[in-house]
Amino acid sequence: MTSPPPFVSHTYLMRMPEHTAALRNPWPRLTGVIDGLTLDMEDEFRFGHTVVKVGPNYRMGGSIKGGSSSIWVTVQEAALDAYNKWRELEMPSQGEDAAAYSELKHTLGAAGIQLASDPSEYEPSHGEVYRTIRDIVKAIPEDHFRNIALDKIQVGGWGPDAAKASAYKNGTVYIYDFAVYGAVRTLAGLFLHELGHAFHASLRPERTSVLQQSHETISRRRAFMGIEYLLDAESRIVYQEFIVEEFVAETYLLYTACGSALREFILSQPDDIRDAWWRAYSIYLDGFDGVGYI
């Protein structure tokens, strides 16, 4: 297998926290591990759906794509037990962590970025959410945060686009309740994906042009890398296929959370696709001032 071209030379390599670096691997199934959990139920839970008791009955469901519309179906009590066991293993705990919040706020503030929470400035139940985001932020150079189009991160609540689990708009990354109360894996993936939109918004036209050209070449062969969070890997590929901005945001996630896996994926491609990927990769390498990820 050939090596990366000479211009792909890292100043040094950093490592994302384990809960984020795990995105490079398939999402382990808990069906067969948790009593009463089925594949269909697990897919629903991964997409943020819950099980609740309504009178004498039990309902499974939730919002559609994070919006205000929802769908619910009647299930048995065993589904509630399965959901509670699944959430213990996959979702952020809802305990307090004021220290993580304070450290996150300070770290972002040093880069000129505001931290906001919903429904209050500090939301006690978001302790592990703050820790997850803090750990990711600490693994990204402060200068990088200073250079991307990011003024504010809002944790919880909703935002300008209620049809999604998260959003980026006008310098603000929104992590909706949909993501806050979902799997930790999905929270990490969505946060880095939205940072990728902030990165894209900061690029000069000649660099966005390189990414556009790379996307066109990669798209012709459908040679995208897909990983599992919120949706399956194939759905993440479809998400990138037709919209260059989504390709740029998803590649930001891959660059940071899946660095070595992304490089191995690129090296495995045919010559023209590999060259297009390396041209795109070089934009991120420059945006991180030579810092890469293991």
pLDDT above 90 covers a percentage of the chain that reads 87
pLDDT above 70 covers a percentage of the chain that reads 97
What's 59's DSSP letter?
E
In sequence order, what DSSP letters do the residues of 182-195 get, joined into one string? S-HHHHHHHHHHHH
The mean-pLDDT minimum among 64-78, 143-157, 270-284 falls in 64-78
Q: Are 10 and 287 in contact (CB under 8 A)?
A: no
Angle between helices 271-287 and 205-221 (to 10 degrees): 150
Q: For the segment 177-206, what is each residue's pLDDT rounded down to a tens digit?
A: 989 999 999 999 999 999 999 999 999 999
Torsion of CA 69, 128, 104, 185, to 10 degrees: -60
Strands in 85-138 per DSSP E? 114-117
| 68 has pLDDT over 90 | no
Q: What is the pLDDT of residue 180?
A: 92
Q: What's the rounded mean pLDDT across residues 2-7?
A: 80
Q: What is the pLDDT of residue 65?
A: 56
Q: What is the pLDDT of residue 193?
A: 98
Strands in 66-109 per DSSP E? 70-75
Q: For the segment 7-53, what is each residue's pLDDT rounded down to a tens digit?
A: 888 999 999 999 999 999 999 999 999 999 999 999 999 998 999 99
